[in-house]
Amino acid sequence: MAKKTYALDTNVPLTDPKSFFAFENNDILIPFKVLEELDKHKKRLDGVGRNARESIRILDSLREKGSLHKGVRIDRGMGILRVVTLDEERIEECPMLDLNEADNEIVCCVIQEQNLAPRRKHIMVSRDINMRVKCDALNIPTEDYIKTKIVKNTSEIFTGFSTVLVDDETIEQYYAGEEIVLDNEIHYYANQYLMLVSNANEKKTALARFMRKNAPLQRLRAGDKAKIFGGLTPRNKEQAFALDLLLDTRVSLVSLIGKAGTGKTLTAIAAGLEQVLEAKKYKKLIVSRPVTPMGRDIGFLPGTLEEKMMPWLAPVQDNLETLLAGKENFKMYQEKGIIEVEALTYIRGRSINNAYIVIDESQNLTMHEIKTIITRVGNDTKIVLTGDIEQIDNDYTDETSNGLAYAVEKFKNYELSGHVSLTRGERSKIATLASKIL
């Protein structure tokens, strides 16, 4: 197979610093403009900044092997990585491009390299859809960087729920309290929820939780009439599934995916308050979320750290104040250290024991960030990840490569974790309608 040359857009190493090693025995071009863009991002305190710094460190280690200008062998059995600059004397090769724009300068570098070696196939790799459209319009082969995608599309993400056809007698036995063990021919995941449907009467059903092969199905502890902190009861089967996992101390990691208004955050926090304040299973409740703006950022905020974080954490505080019947009760538990509400930046680096942690808006985390956070979990601690993978504000992740989807897929085989996808809106009729039609 003929060797190819892949030119990397800035967003590729910003998404995955190890992308330099992902192209096997093919060569890699890094336009000089990409280095300038990495330099602009390196001082950021989030995952993008970390990836920028790591990418620069990798390039520096390659530089020690030789000249990046002439080309350096990436590793044994791999191709050559070379940094290329725009040739000012050959600008006429890109007459249609405004070179004051970074993307256009990168594209022009690729065009010039393509013209120097017309027999070699040059491919532009970018996570930016518009960049790929531009390249295709200019007859430059282009690809997305898909190594970081955990699934091909959102329909493949594990939902935590499945329907199973069984004999009518099996359902009667299940309700009678007998142990039911499913046939091992069909594969189910640990802590996956099942709806047993009678093959004689489809309206005859039962809800159960699969634990492991050869183990009997488990009944839900949180039925339709179960009440938790604040008098909340599940309004649909998915919320009942979620509560069943949230109240089970054997499950250390729970992930909840759902559209706006499905109750994922409120359910997670209510279950936390139930186990911290009432059942005393955990010493404290920690609620956090990534600091990622929706739309144009409003810039620096004035005041103390608490005042700066107020706009970011307001949705979390709204839920807590509602459940605790007012601001005064919420502040009292905060002052006692029983409830902590803080930015995710300050959770990283900690080792948290005997706590119930809720990470809201987890879809805005990268794969590396989600790993960093989960590895902070200490003894007797439960962590809950909530989010809507269709509402991502992080420019360097998408519906199939975000940290929440990554955690769901990677943990689905393990009994220490469980996942539920909430589908039915319960906030209000207008919120449910908006999530469907807008």
> In this structure, which amino acid lies at residue 409?
E
**DSSP letter assigned to residue 393:** -
Using CA atoms, how far apart are residues 86 and 90, in angstroms rounded to an integer? 8
Query: What integer pLDDT is reported at residue 432 of this predicted model?
Result: 66
Query: Which residues touch 74 (CB under 8 Å, ≥6 apart)?
Result: 20, 21, 28, 62, 80, 81
Query: In whole angstroms, how far apart are CA 378 and each of 12, 109, 290, 351, 354?
Result: 33, 49, 20, 6, 7
CA distances from 368 to 38, 293, 384, 401 (A): 18, 19, 17, 11
Print pLDDT tens along the chain (438 aa): 689 999 999 999 998 899 999 998 999 999 999 999 999 999 887 778 889 999 999 999 999 999 999 999 999 889 999 999 999 889 999 888 888 899 999 999 999 999 999 999 999 999 899 999 999 999 999 999 877 677 777 888 999 999 999 999 999 999 999 999 988 778 899 999 999 999 989 899 999 999 998 899 999 875 555 678 877 888 899 999 999 999 999 999 999 999 888 989 999 999 999 999 999 999 999 998 887 644 444 455 555 555 555 666 677 777 888 888 888 888 899 889 999 887 776 676 678 899 999 999 999 888 888 988 898 888 999 999 999 998 887 777 778 888 999 999 999 999 999 999 998 876 667 766 776 676
Domains and CATH numbers, the chain: 4-143 (3.40.50.1010), 226-437 (3.40.50.300)
Using CA atoms, how far apart are residues 85 and 27, in angstroms rounded to an integer?
A: 16
DSSP element (H, E) containing 33:
helix 32-41
pLDDT tens digits, residue range 98-144?
Answer: 888 999 999 999 999 999 999 999 999 998 999 999 999 999 999 99
DSSP E strand stretches across 115-230: 121-125, 142-143, 161-166, 192-198, 205-210
Which is it for strands 382-387 and 355-359: parallel, antiparallel or unpaired? parallel
State the Cα–Cα distance between residues 82 and 28, nearest whole angstrom. 6
For the entire predicted model, the pTM comes to: 0.77
What percent of the chain is helix, strand and coil (3-state, nearest 5)? 40, 20, 45
